[in-house]
Amino acid sequence: MSLHGKRKEIYKYEAPWTVYAMNWSVRPDKRFRLALGSFVEEYNNKVQLVGLDEESSEFICRNTFDHPYPTTKLMWIPDTKGVYPDLLATSGDYLRVWRVGETETRLECLLNNNKNSDFCAPLTSFDWNEVDPYLLGTSSIDTTCTIWGLETGQVLGRVNLVSGHVKTQLIAHDKEVYDIAFSRAGGGRDMFASVGADGSVRMFDLRHLEHSTIIYEDPQHHPLLRLCWNKQDPNYLATMAMDGMEVVILDVRVPCTPVARLNNHRACVNGIAWAPHSSCHICTAADDHQALIWDIQQMPRAIEDPILAYTAEGEINNVQWASTQPDWIAICYNNCLEILRGGKLQ
């Protein structure tokens, strides 16, 4: 794409509803494509797939489809080579996997753990394993994490039908689990961590599920809402507490003691994104309208100030750093999506 020649540093898209969930596509042929989820407090919600049009330099909505309840998270299949079907997963009441076509998106499979019950415990988040795209992990308010296996079966020659099964379910916490993320450590397939309402960060290994390791506990036992692994160095991860104004950086080799605290925000933090191409840069976003980029190179010395700051026109709900184009960061606030080129974050 020749966007760099256009000198534009910010592109903006306005959705017809409040945007909450958001994710960059990583397919090489869909570089400026994002999925957006609505946050409407009713059953009927939407997902939009938007792409930046090179000629007009405007975002275009390529596709909108219905989604029951707001998506707590959505994520494109981590397929940087474009060899798998073009799939998008969403979490809400269930985990759903969608197949994206040129003109329409259709539900490929709905993964439900409670086969014997009409009741389903809402899913708070999920992660899609980068090393093995047939593995996904979900976190739920019922204190469990579930690891799912996808299968693609060849049917009718050309049509891949995707289905899934529970590989393992584990009681991960004493209370609700709010986030789950696979680690790149040890090959990147078997290790994952979770955070939840009990205020702990716990680490698991699919090969040894009989025990988990608590690598951090919030001193006040505040619920932890998000966790995010460093993309380059699997020893580091970031987490944040509910209604907290700081992001805590942890080193799994030194459990229970934060190696850094990023606390320049003036309102509660809502999002964390590590740089895809650097082990020492992280972006945080908050209700104070600010997206801040930090250089944590000097850890364990205190990190006083961010190196870059961007002020949006509203409380930032989410931040996503584009893994295939490290110059670009996406934020969403109110009904707006903005993508910012790193050079603009001055």
Task: CATH number of the domain at 213, please.
Answer: 2.130.10.10
CB hemisphere CA count around 56 (13 angstroms): 8
Q: How many CB atoms lie within 10 A of CB 310?
A: 22
| Average pLDDT of the chain to the nearest whole number | 89
In a domain, 315, yes or no: no
User: What confidence tens digit (pLDDT) does each residue in 243-284 have?
Assistant: 999 999 999 999 989 999 999 999 999 999 999 999 999 999
In a domain, 344, yes or no: no
For residue 150, pLDDT over 90 is answered with no
What percentage of residues in the chain have a pLDDT greater than 90?
Answer: 71
In a domain, 5, yes or no: no
pTM of the model: 0.91
Q: Identify the domain containing residue 156 by its residue range.
A: 10-269
Name the residue among 42, 28, 192 with its Cα closest to residue 125.
192
In a domain, 283, yes or no: no
CB hemisphere CA count around 190 (13 angstroms): 8
Residues sharing a CB contact under 8 Å with residue 135, sequence separation 6 or more, in sequence order: 128, 129, 147, 148, 149, 150, 167, 182, 189
**What pLDDT score was predicted for residue 279?**
94
In a domain, 217, yes or no: yes
**What pLDDT score was predicted for residue 116?**
59
In a domain, 327, yes or no: no
| Total of domains in the chain | 1
In a domain, 293, yes or no: no
Q: Which amino acid is at 21?
A: A
User: What confidence tens digit (pLDDT) does each residue in 152-209 have?
Assistant: 654 434 445 667 778 888 788 889 999 999 999 988 889 999 999 999 999 999 888 8
For residue 322, pLDDT over 60 is answered with yes
Residue range 28-38: average pLDDT?
93
Distance CA 336, CA 340 (A): 13
Residue carrying the six token digits 């750093």: 321
**What pLDDT score was predicted for residue 340?**
94
Distance CA 181, CA 179 (A): 7
Distance CA 154, CA 311 (A): 49
By 3-state DSSP, what share of the chain in percent is helix, strand and coil, each rounded to 5? 5, 50, 45
Residue range 99-124: average pLDDT?
82
Name the residue among 229, 227, 218, 171 with its Cα closest to residue 194.
227
In a domain, 308, yes or no: no
